[in-house]
Amino acid sequence: MIALKIENLSKNFGRTEVLKKINLEINEGNFLVLLGPSGCGKSTLLNIVAGLETIDEGAVFIDDYNVSNVEPKDRNIAMVFQSYALYPSMNVKENITFGLKQSKTPKNKIEEQLKKVSTFLQVDELLNRKPSQLSGGQRQRVAIGRALVREPRIFLFDEPLSNLDAKLRVEMRREIKKIHKKLKTTVVYVTHDQTEAMSLGTNIAIMNHGVIQQCDTPKNIYNKPHNIFVADFIGAPPMNLIQGNFINGNFIPNGSSNIKIPLDKYDFKDSNNSKNEKSIYLGIRPEHIYIDKNNSDYFQISAKSELVEYIGHEQIVTFNYFEQQFLGKFPSTLDINMDKNLKLYIDLNQISLFDKNTKERL
């Protein structure tokens, strides 16, 4: 069942087109992450779903019901903000139960919900403290608690972990995942952090300049990016994009004369794409470049090692390939000679091809 549908949604602020014909669907119980660079329109989209921002064109449906003109309080959703937005003069208990009191929930039901949620989030010892007497992580738990007690149809999160330090961010990320696993409530979660998106989302919608670039499972986003923006946005370091030409079923890297990388095993999106000659990018992730040939589908190339970056469990090596740079990622236990022409192997089952003009996946 579709819990939330966004149809042909557009939004302008003055002359700035912030959202351009957005279409999105999210099934009940799924965890959709809106991922994109700062300023791409994520918060605006979330605020529109919450009813905090008006729509210029299009509609928002919750359970097949058009809520575009429904008041925020009547949408049966709860939102958690980056800034926590707790009431400073109220203690934890009052903050968590505020919404329930407003909606005239019976007292015993409020107490029951408070107990359940505060125990679950481990803030039951903190009920009499004011927000100023809490750590960042505790404040965030209270903000989540305030959303949870209402048992909403949909949870909206807007960068809820951005104000926490790195270690706490990872811990809270896991907590949010646990909460979702337990409650199975539909979630829309905004972040600019790709690791957060990958680890939390059952689905990820990647946005850029107010346009959804790809909405897919984390695995498809990573392995089959729809375009160059997605390929370059996801992965650290991102996918290598080697420029060249597609001629007679082979990839000829720019600057080379007699190199032909066979693409006959590549799964073209449209078989017509495999017919015409064109300028393309061959995309290969740094971890799909190997020093040893372990598989018959690995294709041997030769490139010069120029720079090594040791990062603990692995090392990133910069190679020069006909004056184009690409990166390889290897276990740090491997000894790799620098400033040498090395034999490398690329896994042809893991490549992506993009049209250089349209920037779209072939």
Q: What contacts 294, CB < 8 A, 6 or more positions away?
A: 345
Would you count residue 82 as binding Mg ion (CB under 5 A)? Answer: no
**Beta strands per DSSP E along 142-297:** 154-158, 186-191, 203-208, 211-216, 240-247, 250-253, 261-262, 278-284, 289-290
CB atoms within 10 A of CB 348: 21
> CA 209, CA 320: separation in Å to the nearest integer?
33
First to last CA, the chain: 32
> CA 210, CA 339: separation in Å to the nearest integer?
43
Would you count residue 253 as binding ligand ADP (CB under 6 A)? Answer: no
| Residue 35 or 149 having the CB closest to Mg ion | 35
Q: For the CB of residue 193, give the shortest distance to ligand ADP in the complex, in Å.
A: 12
> CA 37, CA 29: separation in Å to the nearest integer?
26
Rg (C-alpha) for the chain, rounded Å, is: 25
Report how many residues bind Mg ion under the rule CB under 5 A. 1
Length of the chain: 362
| Residue 43 or 214 having the CB closest to Mg ion | 43
Q: For the CB of residue 192, give the shortest distance to ligand ADP in the complex, in Å.
A: 7
Q: For the CB of residue 15, give the shortest distance to ligand ADP in the complex, in Å.
A: 10
Per partner kind, with CB cut-offs from 5 to 8 A, the member of Mg ion, ligand ADP, none near residue 50 is none
Binding mask 113-152 for ligand ADP (x = CB under 6 A): ----------------------------------------
> CA 261, CA 102: separation in Å to the nearest integer?
66
Which residue type occupies 257? S
| Residue 116 or 209 having the CB closest to ligand ADP | 209
Q: For the CB of residue 194, give the shortest distance to Mg ion in the complex, in Å.
A: 15
Report how many residues bind ligand ADP under the rule CB under 6 A. 10
Q: Look-up: residue for tokens 């498809």?
A: 220
Strand pairing report for 186-191 and 154-158:
parallel
Which one of 4, 6, 18, 221 is in contact with ligand ADP (CB under 6 A)? 18
| Residue 54 or 254 having the CB closest to ligand ADP | 54
Q: With contact defined as beta carbons under 8 Å apart, do 329 and 314 qualify?
A: yes
Per partner kind, with CB cut-offs from 5 to 8 A, the member of ligand ADP, Mg ion, none near residue 305 is none
| Residue 54 or 295 having the CB closest to ligand ADP | 54
Which one of 30, 43, 186, 305 is in contact with Mg ion (CB under 5 A)? 43
The residues in 112-171 that bind Mg ion, with binding defined as CB under 5 A, are none
Q: Does the N-terminal peptide bond of residue 72 adopt cis geometry, omega within 30 degrees of 0?
A: no
Q: For the CB of residue 188, give the shortest distance to ligand ADP in the complex, in Å.
A: 13
Strand pairing report for 211-216 and 298-310:
unpaired
> CA 249, CA 265: separation in Å to the nearest integer?
10
The residues in 21-80 that bind ligand ADP, with binding defined as CB under 6 A, are 36, 38-44
| Residue 159 or 216 having the CB closest to ligand ADP | 159
Q: For the CB of residue 42, give the shortest distance to Mg ion in the complex, in Å.
A: 5
Closest CA to 72 of 144, 154, 1: 154
| Residue 30 or 43 having the CB closest to Mg ion | 43
| Residue 11 or 141 having the CB closest to ligand ADP | 11
The residues binding Mg ion (CB under 5 A) are 43
The residues binding ligand ADP (CB under 6 A) are 13, 18, 36, 38-44
